[in-house]
Structures are given as C-alpha cells and as structure tokens.
Amino acid sequence: AQSVSQHNHHVILSEAASLELGCNYSYGGTVNLFWYVQYPGQHLQLLLKYFSGDPLVKGIKGFEAEFIKSKFSFNLRKPSVQWSDTAEYFCAVNPDTGRRALTFGSGTRLQVQP
C-alpha cells in the first residue's frame, strides 16, 4: 500500500520568507499527486495537483510544486509567504490503479508571523 510522509510538522516563518514543504511518497508505479490546504475555519481545498506533463505545477495563490520521480517527492514551494498563508497543508497521493481514494500525509502546520 502507498504511504505519504511530510517531515515538517510545524513551520514558523516571517512574512516575505520563502517556503518549501517536503512531501515524499512510497509507491513504485504511476501516481497522481495533490496538495490540499486547510485555512482556519475553512473547508479543505485543492491547492494544486500533478498527474502528467511538466513536473513543475502551479496552483492557486502563488504556490507551486515540483514532482521529482527519482526522489519520490512532490515538494510545495512559495517564494514569498504572506500572513494569510497560515494554514495546514496536506500532501496526498492517488496511484493510477486500485481504489480511487486519496492517501494523505500527516500534514504541516504553517504559521506566518507578520
């Protein structure tokens, strides 16, 4: 079975700092990769996803992620964070076989200080 690891559990940054959140998955076949975000008091929502093509994908609010197949990684980045980026971020994987349901990582809580 596939699994997802997010090694940064809690990240604290100042506004304008650069962000990189790590995500590694374990699955040998073709995967579809997702980043979801949960802002305080809001629904979990899709930030971006990768399933084929350019391994650098851009999402909403200036976020991007790079799929590196050789490293089984899908790290999330943003060049300059804002206070409004304070949220919990979840990486998820859905292999191209078997059940059509996501396997999530444990999440990273990002706190941006003004």
Partner 1 sequence: DGGITQSPKYLFRKEGQNVTLSCEQNLNHDAMYWYRQDPGQGLRLIYYSQIVNDFQKGDIAEGYSVSREKKESFPLTVTSAQKNPTAFYLCASSTGEAFTDTQYFGPGTRLTVL
Least distance from C-beta 23 to partner 1, angstroms?
11
Listed residue (15, 13, 12, 5) closest to 73, CA to CA: 5
In sequence order, which residues have a C-beta less than 8 Å from that of residue 61 and are 6 or more positions away? 47, 78, 85
Query: Looking up tokens 């699955």, which residue turns up?
Result: 27
Counting residues that bind partner 1 (by CB under 8 A) gives 27
List, in sequence order, every residue forming a beta bridge with 25; answer none if it has no partner.
Answer: 4
Nearer to partner 1 by Cβ, of 12 and 16: the residue is: 12
* Position 101 contacts partner 1 (CB under 8 A): yes
Contact call for residue 6 and partner 1 (CB under 8 A): yes
43 makes contact with partner 1 (CB under 8 A): yes
Distance of closest approach, residue 8 Cβ to partner 1, in angstroms: 12
Does 22 bind partner 1 (CB under 8 A)? Our answer is no
Name the nearest CA neighbour of 110 among 15, 13, 22.
13
In whole angstroms, give the CA distance from residue 49 to residue 57: 7
Residue 106 as a binder of partner 1 (CB under 8 A): the answer is: yes
Does residue 59 bind partner 1 (CB under 8 A)?
no
Binding site for partner 1 (CB under 8 A): 4, 6, 9, 32, 34, 36, 43-46, 49, 51, 90, 92, 94-97, 99-107
